[in-house]
Amino acid sequence: MPTIEVQPQYTVLDPSTRNDTGNRLLLFGEGHDAKVLKLYRERYTAIGSFCSSGSHRLLERKRGISPKARYRTEVATLTKWKEHGFDVFQQLDMPLPEQFDPPGIWLEYCPGKTMGEIFKDPEIEEVEKVELVTRLARDSGWRHKVAFQLNEPLLVQEHATIRHVMVYGDRLIRFDFENGFLPKFHIVEALAQELASCLKSIVRCSGGASDPLFAAFASAYPEPALLREVLDWGVCHRGLYRRVRRWYDQKRRPGQSKTDSLARLRSMIVEA
């Protein structure tokens, strides 16, 4: 994580680039005593928040975007993932320092690298990237099965790029859960959106050399029938919501869309 500011008590991590709006991540302590305070802040002006909130709920069918809503979504998601044994940053039960206004949460500090950073490193061998994708596919498949069986959108990561997977020792830690799908959101659609974001980020962070990584993902995914169902839904489903998402996605990124990544993995499975 980049560091830009050191205060007597803490270091600022992952700084905002939008005129001091957005969240703040503050690192307190060192070594085994290190911990991170995440403070939720407004992202937009009042008018921007009103417009974005309406779009978020009515069109994208996602949870609220206010600081309090994002805080509640993140806490609920962390709790749900931990309940089912899926790896996330551990919450620490501590009060906020007096100088900071809520909402905010304390999290364990894991000074690793994200999968995105590793994939962009030209000195990292492909075999290591394949191994990481293999582990990611296994973890994702087990979680997707539980999410599907329970019809639980909180077990689906809305912001699911490999830049939001921390590699720390033998752990693959998913993070950034402040956005999420509404409770009655269609679970296969949610899974398709997560998978599309994940695959697209693999393409982007690997410089386009993704076929061996996609092959490793398909081979390691422990629920092949569910994977095929999710891919079929993402690429072929004729419902209005999915058709609009595909159209918008491909219009924004012709030839390099999230849908193209889904279609590529689907074709590899069909050809196998």
Kindly state the average pLDDT of the residues 23-48: 84
CATH 3.30.200 domain span(s) along the chain: 3-108
Residues near 172 by beta carbon (within 8 Å), at least 6 away in sequence: 87, 115, 132, 135, 136, 139, 165, 166
Residue 3: what pLDDT? Answer: 45
Q: Is 91 helix (H, G, I), strand (E, B) or coil?
A: strand
Ranges 7-16, 170-179, 235-244, 256-265: which has the least confidence: 7-16
* Contact between residue 61 and residue 182 where contact means Cβ atoms under 8 Å apart: yes
Residue 64: what pLDDT? Answer: 87
Q: For residue 45, what pLDDT band results from cuts at 50, 70 and 90?
A: low
Question: Could you give the CA distance from residue 142 to residue 245 in angstroms, rounded to a whole number?
Answer: 26
Q: 3-108, which class in CATH?
A: alpha beta
For the entire predicted model, the pTM comes to 0.89
pLDDT in tens, 116-135: 999 999 999 999 999 999 99
Residue 59: what pLDDT? Answer: 61
User: Closest Cα partner for 77 from 63, 57, 56, 92?
Assistant: 63
Ranges 48-57, 70-79, 94-103, 128-137: which has the least confidence: 48-57
